[in-house]
Structure 1
Amino acid sequence: MSLMKPFIQTERQQRWIDTLLEQKETFQSHTKENDANGTFPHANVQRLIDLGYTSLTLSEAYGGENITISELVSFQETLGQIDSVTALSVGWHMGVTGEVYAKKLWSDDMLAYFANEVKHGALTNRALSEAKTGSPTRGGRPGTTAIRKGTGWLIDGRKSYTTMSPALTHFLITAWVEELGVIGTFLVPKETEGVEVIETWDVMSMRASESHDVLFDQVFVEDEWFVERDPADRKGRPNPYSLHIASCYMGIAQAARDEAVQFALTHQPNSIDTTISELPNVQQHIGEMDVTLTQMRHVLYGVARLCDEGRMDTFTNEMAVAKYTVTNGALKIVDHAMRLVGGQSLRMDHPLQQHYRDVRAGLHNPPMDEMTILNAAQAALKDMKEQMN
């Protein structure tokens, strides 16, 4: 917590961080069981709903608190320290609602409707990925289709990696609309006939997120549920709320560091007269972790502050670099923590082995590392060419 203190700027921010930390014991009471069985932390997410957390990113006009990006980052980091799956899962909902209401992507009627749903417990996530097209960030056209039928649309397709699928009340899905020649986005209530969650999630990382496939078999929705008709509304416009992804992995890294430092201060082999915290090689690991954490946090919160100041129009690759910096730094920190603690960190009942598995999921959340690096290189070349002309 002490490393985050310089980045806490408001009373509201501190109040919510304190509230989230108060949930730590309860949220962690089933972490091992959920991870082992791959079962979603329903109770944790329900508690966040009851606290009003899931409506924080709604704009004030629709009954939310319109929290800043810096506040969101600190809240999601705090959750990441407590329970990684809870943080990543609810983060997707926060990221979606934040972007939709900040950019007013939907009609006024639909914004009003869904804000009311969120305030009564609704949860959503974008279901974009498909087995054949891979990550949507790579530009593939979805195999899911939407065909005009009467007063609405008939949707057919299958989405993969739908995080929090058991708890979602609404899916925000992309589909190819041949009639318009565009990739459209539809808000589909989970109880709609033809919607089925198919339990396919069996992985080593974020096991309890239940990021299953979702099948849309001849799903009919009325025209008003076709909420995003112009891909240009999102394309090329950074979503600052996507920083929730990096924030989660920042939290995991902090938790791993804390576990290792606590171990160093309490573990005393009978071969030495003090705890291992006095050993130079142990202090080397601790120092490496804190230097890396400081670098990560300054990049992440620095980008968040620029977003809050409305300076995203000056961005080239900053948000992607923040995600790249944090996720790769988190891998290094967990590695240092496990080297410090030693072989017992590999025990299945030790928290570090779950941190090790969960933090690797960050490599596969968008944007991908190679795209970030390629974009950085291309931006550098473009900038230098302009200077030379």
Structure 2
Amino acid sequence: MTATAEVVIPTPDVSDDALATVTAALAEHAERHDRTGEVPWDGLRIVHEAGLLTATVGAAHGGPALGLVDTARVLVALGEGDPSVALIVANTLHTHAGQAAAPHWPEDLYADLLRRGLEGPAPVNAIRAEPELGAPARGGLPATTLTATADGWTLSGRKSYATGGEALAYHVVWAVTDEPEPRVGHVLVPGDASGITWIETWDHLGLRASNTHDVVYDQTPVRADAFVEIPRGDDGVYRDPAATPGIQSFWHPALYVGAARASRSAFVAYARDRVPTALGAPIATTERIQAVAGEIETQVAQAEALLFGTLARAEAGDLSALTPQLGVLKGAIARAVVAAASTAVEALGNPGLSRHHSLERHLRDVLCVRVHPPQLDAAQIAAGRRVLGV
């Protein structure tokens, strides 16, 4: 039994009704969070109280160990309510699932994370990108450095796109040691450690409340056992693990499927309520709007089928056959959710682009799906080389 097995994590209710309740509660705060850009504490508390922030904690650590499909269902529901909250949650669930699959945290540090998660929202995120390097999925090594001390390390450097911001209970930071033979890996840093400064750089088109700011580490003290080296490739080269999508990477597109659902709902509500004087009836009664609604439904259905079909096959043991196609499947989901929201906005014209209508926000949010690795061009090149045998 591990030390963390003494912590009992409640099993959340992930029935359709329970998730719909969480979606509605998040939606009540989503517009305000989007406008202020502040840490979405109201949304995070809603998710925490529903027990969803720790849903993927492994059974060995006293958790519910929620599976692939149900975790995606959770994230679709959260994305439909507030995608900014859903992104922070997705990163947290991914970290817990990774620990369940291959334990690598020191037991007392992970137990501390779980205890924080019982007391309140305790997000955690892998922080990799840097201002000069960009997203490491394209290659390269970090400039963020670990320097050995008598009792551990100090961490120094600047990171970009650190989703979660000051809400993070732990940072999982991609860094390189300054040893004679440098090693690359992730270091576990409590969010309240000294030497951490947040730079409010996030002024983005979408997911504005995700607090994906820059963060600076200035000789931040880190325990010796908090550094975990990542595996080298067969050629001896370090590569960021996010560059090769695993099945759990599908939890990111899941939240955008939720945002596409929200855009569908917003379009339907407008079409039912809008009664032009010349028509004398809701525009929903016209064949043009009915055709648009059908196109939106087509795109949402396609995204859902790709998402849940892929995860169901993985849970059924078909992951090895799926793995080469994961990148292009994620890209296809991205295309579908963007098309769903774009179609809705295009059909409504100015009202769909007004900040007085939620469709504008849904479109901005779904556009962010394209930035998650692997990006579509890289996935298609890899797929093309595979099928061509070159």
TM-score, normalised via structure 1 length: 0.89
1:239-278 mapped onto 2 (5 Å cutoff) = 239-278=246-285
Aligned equivalents of 1:238, 1:167: Cα separation in 2: 26
Q: Deviations over 1:263-302 (max 9, x none)?
A: 2233221212432223222122111111122211111111
Q: Give the one of 328, 341, 366 matched to 2:373.
A: 366
**Counterpart of 2:103 in structure 1: which amino acid?**
K
The aligned residue for residue 156 of structure 1 is 156
SS at match of 2:217: strand
In the other structure, the counterpart of 2:4 is: none
Where does residue 58 of structure 1 map in the other structure? 57
Determine the C-alpha separation between the residues in 2 that align with 1:310 and 1:135: 31
Identity %: 27
What SS does structure 2 have at the residue aligned with 1:158?
A: strand
1:342 has 2:328 as partner: no
* TM-score after normalising by structure 2: 0.89
Which residue of structure 1 aligns with residue 217 of structure 2?
Answer: 216
Matches within 5 A, 1:165-204: 165-179=165-179, 180-204=181-205
Larger CA deviation: 273-282 vs 283-292 = 273-282
Name the aligned partner's letter for residue 189 of structure 2.
V
> Residues of 1 paired with 2:51 and 2:106: CA distance?
24
| Residue matched to 1:289 | 296
**How far apart are residue 14 of structure 1 and its match?**
7.3
CA 1:325–1:182 in structure 2 vs 1: closer, same or farther (change >3 Å)?
A: same
Q: Deviations over 1:18-55 (max 9, x none)?
A: 22321344322332222122112111102222222111
2:47 — aligned with what? Answer: 48
1:52 partner amino acid:
G
Q: How far apart, CA to CA, are the structure 1 residues paired with 2:184 and 2:14? A: 41
Tell me which amino acid in the other structure corresponds to 1:39: E
Give secondary structure in 1 for the equivalent of 2:53: helix
Letter in 1 for 2:155: I
CA contact (8 A) 1:184 1:231 kept: no
**2:129 aligned with 1:129, yes or no?**
yes
For structure 1, which runs of at least 5 residues remain unmatched after alignment?
1-11
SS at match of 2:168: coil
Alignment of 1:69-148 (within 5 A): 69-108=68-107, 110-121=109-120, 122-148=122-148
Letter in 1 for 2:381: L
- State the Cα distance separating 1:151 from its structure 2 match: 2.1
Q: Is 1:327 aligned to residue 334 of structure 2?
A: yes
Query: What's the C-alpha RMSD, in Å, of the aligned pairs?
Result: 2.3
Q: Tell me, in whole angstroms, the C-alpha distance in 2 between the residues paired with 1:33 and 1:293.
A: 26
1:183 Cα offset (Å): 1.2
Out of 347-356 and 236-245, give the one that drifted further: 236-245
When residues 44 and 361 of structure 1 are mapped into structure 2, their CA distance, relative to the original with a 3 A threshold, is same
Q: Do the aligned partners of 1:13 and 1:71 also contact (CA within 8 Å) in 2?
A: no
Q: Answer with 119-128 or 209-218: which moved more.
A: 119-128
Could you tell me which residue of structure 1 aligns to residue 20 of structure 2? 21
Alignment of 1:34 onto 2:41: no
* Alpha-carbon distance, 1:143 to partner: 0.7
Work out the CA distance in 2 between the residues paired with 1:65 and 1:237: 27
* Conserved 8 A contact 1:99-1:239: no
Aligned to 1:8: none
Q: How far has the Cα of 1:229 moved from its partner?
A: 5.0
Q: Which moved more, 1:34-43 or 1:273-282?
A: 273-282
Provide the aligned length of Structure 1 versus Structure 2.
Answer: 372
Q: Which moved more, 1:276-285 or 1:240-249?
A: 276-285
Q: Distance in 1 between matches of 2:139 and 2:104?
A: 20
159-168 or 278-287: bigger deviation:
278-287
8 Å contact from structure 2 (residues 166, 191) kept in 1: no
Distance 1:32-1:116 versus aligned 2 partners, 3 A rule: closer
Secondary structure of 2:206's counterpart equals coil
Most deviating of 267-276 and 180-189: 267-276
Counterpart contact for 2:172–2:187, Cα < 8 Å: yes
Question: How far off its partner does 1:310 sit?
Answer: 3.2
Separation (CA, whole Å) in 2 of partners of 1:70 and 1:175: 32
- Relative to structure 1, is the Cα distance of residues 14 and 46 closer, same or farther in structure 2, using a 3 angstrom cutoff? closer
Contact conserved, 2:113 with 2:170, CA < 8 A, in 1? no
Stretch moving more, 84-93 or 258-267: 258-267
Match of 2:314 among 300, 307, 319: 307
**1:103-130 Cα distance to aligned partner (Å, 9 max, x none):** 2233555544544443444221011000
Q: Distance in 2 between matches of 1:15 and 1:171?
A: 27
Shift of the 143–234 alpha-carbon distance from structure 1 to 2, 3 Å rule, reads closer
Cα pair 1:129 1:161 within 8 Å, conserved: yes
For 2:316 and 2:378, the matched residues in 1 are separated by: 26
Moved more, 156-165 or 18-27: 18-27
Kept after mapping to 2: 8 A contact 1:123/1:168? yes
Q: Per the alignment, in what secondary structure is the counterpart of residue 167 of structure 2?
A: coil
Q: Partners of 1:37 and 1:108 in 2: how far apart?
A: 38
**Residue identity opposite 1:365 in structure 2:** H
In the TM superposition, residue 234 of structure 1 has moved relative to its aligned partner by 8.1
Q: Aligned pair in 2 of structure 1 residues 159, 191: CA closer, same or farther (>3 Å)?
A: same
Q: In 1, are the aligned partners of 2:256 and 2:369 still within 8 Å (CA)?
A: yes
Q: Is the 8 A contact 1:303 1:318 kept in 2?
A: no
How far, CA to CA, are the matches of 2:377 and 2:317 in structure 1?
A: 27
Aligned residue for 2:165, secondary structure, equals coil
Aligned partner of 2:236 in structure 1 is none
Amino acid in structure 2 at the alignment position of 1:241: Q
